[in-house]
Amino acid sequence: MNLHSTILGQGQTFVFLHGFLGMSDNWKTLGTQFSEEGYEVHLIDQRNHGRSFHSDEFNYEVMVEDLKRYCDEHNLHDIVLLGHSMGGKTAMLFAVEYPELVSKLIIADISPRYYPTHHDDILNGLSALDFEKLKSRGAADKELKRYVSDSGTRQFLLKNLYWKEKGKLALRINLEVLKEQVNEVGEPLPMHAKFEKETLFLRGDRSEYISFQDESLIHSHFPKAEIVTISNAGHWLHAENPTDFYSEVKDFLGS
Among the listed residues 35, 30, 60, 34, the one whose alpha carbon sits nearest the alpha carbon of residue 48: 60
Nearest-10 crossing angle of helices 60-73, 86-97:
70
CA angle 211, 157, 87 (to 5 degrees): 45
SS3 197: coil
**What is the Cα–Cα distance from 174 to 66, expressed in whole angstroms?**
16
Which one from 85, 111, 207, 238 is the annotated catalytic residue?
A: 85
235 is catalytic: yes
Residue 206's contacts (CB-CB under 8 Å, 6 or more residues apart) are 232, 233, 234
Which one from 18, 49, 221, 235 is the annotated catalytic residue?
A: 235
**What is the Cα–Cα distance from 57 to 218, expressed in whole angstroms?**
28
Q: List residues with catalytic annotation.
A: 85, 235
